[in-house]
Amino acid sequence: MGELLDRNLQRTILGILSEGYPQRTVVAKAFEGGGNRLDVNLAYLEEHGLVSVHWHNGREGRTPMQASITAKGLDFIADDGGLGAILGVVTVRIHGDTLRELLISRVESSGEDETIKAKVVAKLRDIPADALGTLATKALDASLASLPAVAAWMLALLAR
């Protein structure tokens, strides 16, 4: 079955159906001589919610009669992820105590001297929640700023 799945054909199907959106496309006209390979790829795209297919159940099995691309299918072929990318944004809120425990855990598992770790942990336990948020933001900024150095380190390591 896996050899029947064809990414190029799937792209073609989505492209043709997107041109007819929001109308249904007559499969026999749009995809002449498609056969089993077309049927398998239409079914696969339908199972993933990218297309909607009206099937005819005949003596010789199911035959796709009409098909249309779904909103999810349009978003899939959009370079920017489409409206689904905008609507799918998730906001993560971390409770102050959880953030505090994460930072303390990181400090305790570091290779620093025990006296330094104890001082930092004590400060983290005493710091107010709003200051903790600012600290976490600054830590994130610092880690993102060192991404180029990490990327260079990885490239050097992989080049060996």
Q: Are residues 32 and 60 in the same domain?
A: yes
Q: pTM, whole model, 2 decimals?
A: 0.57
| Residue 11 confidence (pLDDT) | 96
Q: Are residues 134 and 83 in the same domain?
A: no
| Residue 2 confidence (pLDDT) | 61
| Residue 83 confidence (pLDDT) | 83
Q: Are residues 120 and 57 in the same domain?
A: no
Handedness of CA 59, 60, 62, 66 (dihedral sign): negative
CATH of the domain at 26: 1.10.10.10
Q: Are residues 102 and 83 in the same domain?
A: no
Number of domains into which the chain is organized: 2
Radius of gyration of the chain (CA): 27
Which three-class secondary structure state does DSSP give residue 34? coil
- The whole-angstrom separation of Cα 93 and Cα 104 is 18
| Residue 31 confidence (pLDDT) | 92
4-60 pLDDT per residue, tens: 899 999 999 999 999 999 999 999 999 987 789 999 999 999 999 999 999 999 898
Please give the C-alpha separations between residue 27 and each of 15, 46, 48, 135, in angstroms, as whole numbers.
13, 14, 19, 58
Q: Are residues 55 and 112 in the same domain?
A: no
115-160 pLDDT per residue, tens: 999 999 999 899 898 888 888 888 888 887 887 887 787 788 787 7
| Residue 139 confidence (pLDDT) | 81
Nearest to 124 by CA among 112, 136, 141: 136
Structural domain of 146: 96-159
Q: Are residues 10 and 77 in the same domain?
A: yes
The pairs formed by 134-143 with CB atoms below 8 angstroms and a separation of 24 or more are 135/103, 136/99, 136/103, 139/103
Confidence of residue 74 (pLDDT cuts 50, 70, 90): very high
Handedness of CA 138, 140, 146, 148 (dihedral sign): negative
Domain boundary among 87, 108, 127: 87
Q: Are residues 71 and 50 in the same domain?
A: yes
Q: Are residues 19 and 55 in the same domain?
A: yes
